[in-house]
């Protein structure tokens, strides 16, 4: 019972999601470089910077996004970047990566000078995403829904964003019923992850402050999207 235009919307989002990925040479760096806290932080910064570039390209391909008010487009990207990167990096964790890859990302995150109290909620989130066994379409649409969240700071035209998010929520709900017929509450569980993402985003803001305290440097793109420095 997915309509023609809903299928078109889903295809556009999934194609954009697959088209825009971190370049393999950047992703592979996770495996190659050394393991000092400084090295890990630098690598993670490079991954995040590359991921933000990928995220911007993906977002521009979400049907209707570029027709939104320009300033709202920026507000949505800044407000959702961390959450979208949690979703994206979570998929890396849950993907059956070639042996040793997955824990490489975990290893580097654990040894990057990140405050201890942030680790538990972060890795619990990664585990809870992995347990959902989301199909690619669900991952792509859930990321688009996260980006098109109307109540981000400084968004002016709530209505316009809500309309776009609404149409994607309808598609996601139908997709969940089709892909996970046994699990009646699967869609609700997916949306529950978005709540968890908000909490992680608040933790992340504190983490950035503590990183800046012991003068970790970020790239210009990260400074801009996270309003630091
Ligand atoms: C500035 C740095 C230190 C930082 O601050 N907060 C976070 C941070 C952390 Cl530590 C966790 C979650 C979110 C953020 Cl922003 C980070 C690091 O962020 C990232 C972002 C994204 C990846 C990431 C994505 C995709 C893939 C991928 C694939 O697609 O094939 C293969 N390898 C991937 C790696 C890793 C780390």
Residue 105 CA to ligand 1 center (angstroms) comes to 8
Q: Which atom of ligand 1 is nearest to the CA of 89?
A: 24
Residue 89 CA to ligand 1 center (angstroms) comes to 5
Q: What's the pLDDT at 137?
A: 95
Residue 88 CA to ligand 1 center (angstroms) comes to 8
Q: What's the pLDDT at 184?
A: 83
Rg for the chain (alpha carbons), in Å?
A: 17
Q: What does the alpha-carbon distance between residue 209 and residue 19 come to, in Å, rounded to a whole number?
A: 33
Q: What does the alpha-carbon distance between residue 112 and residue 114 come to, in Å, rounded to a whole number?
A: 5
Ligand 1 binding pocket mutation candidate from 20, 39, 85, 200 (most atoms within 8 A of CB): 85
Q: What's the pLDDT at 116?
A: 85
Residue 90 CA to ligand 1 center (angstroms) comes to 9
Q: Which atom of ligand 1 is nearest to the CA of 219?
A: 1
Closest protein CA for atom 12 of ligand 1: 86
Place of tokens 């998010």: 165
Residue 52 CA to ligand 1 center (angstroms) comes to 9
Residue 38 structure tokens = 């400084």
Closest protein CA for atom 11 of ligand 1: 86
Handedness of CA 217, 220, 223, 228 (dihedral sign): positive
Residue 48 CA to ligand 1 center (angstroms) comes to 5
Q: What does the alpha-carbon distance between residue 207 and residue 199 come to, in Å, rounded to a whole number?
A: 12
ipTM of model over 0.90 = yes
227: left (phi over 0), alpha (psi -120 to 50) or beta: left
The pTM score is 0.94
Q: Which atom of ligand 1 is nearest to the CA of 85?
A: 13
Which residues in the chain land under pLDDT 50? none
Ligand 1 binding pocket mutation candidate from 29, 38, 48 (most atoms within 8 A of CB): 48
Strand, helix or coil for residue 14: helix
């Amino acid at each position: 019972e997915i309509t023609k235009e809903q299928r078109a919307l889903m295809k556009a989002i999934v194609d954009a999601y697959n088209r825009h990925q971190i370049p393999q040479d950047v992703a592979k760096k996770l495996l190659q470089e050394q393991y000092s806290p400084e090295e890990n932080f630098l690598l993670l910064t490079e991954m995040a910077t590359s991921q933000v570039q990928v995220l911007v390209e993906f977002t521009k391909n979400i049907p209707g996004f570029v027709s939104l008010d320009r300033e709202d487009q920026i507000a949505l990207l800044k407000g959702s970047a961390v959450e979208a990167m949690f979703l994206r990096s979570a998929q890396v964790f849950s993907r059956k990566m070639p042996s040793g890859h997955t824990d490489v990302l975990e290893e580097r995150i654990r040894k990057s000078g990140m405050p201890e109290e942030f680790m538990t909620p972060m890795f619990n989130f990664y585990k809870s995403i992995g347990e959902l066994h989301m199909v690619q379409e669900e991952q792509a649409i859930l990321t688009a829904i996260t980006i098109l969240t109307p109540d981000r700071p400084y968004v002016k035209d709530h209505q316009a964003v809500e309309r776009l998010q609404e149409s994607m929520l309808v598609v996601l709900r139908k997709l969940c019923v089709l892909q996970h017929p046994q699990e009646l509450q699967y869609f609700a569980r997916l949306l529950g992850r978005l709540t968890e993402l908000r909490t992680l985003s608040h933790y992340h803001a504190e983490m950035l402050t503590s990183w800046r305290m012991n003068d970790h440097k970020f790239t210009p793109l990260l400074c801009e999207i996270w309003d630091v420095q």
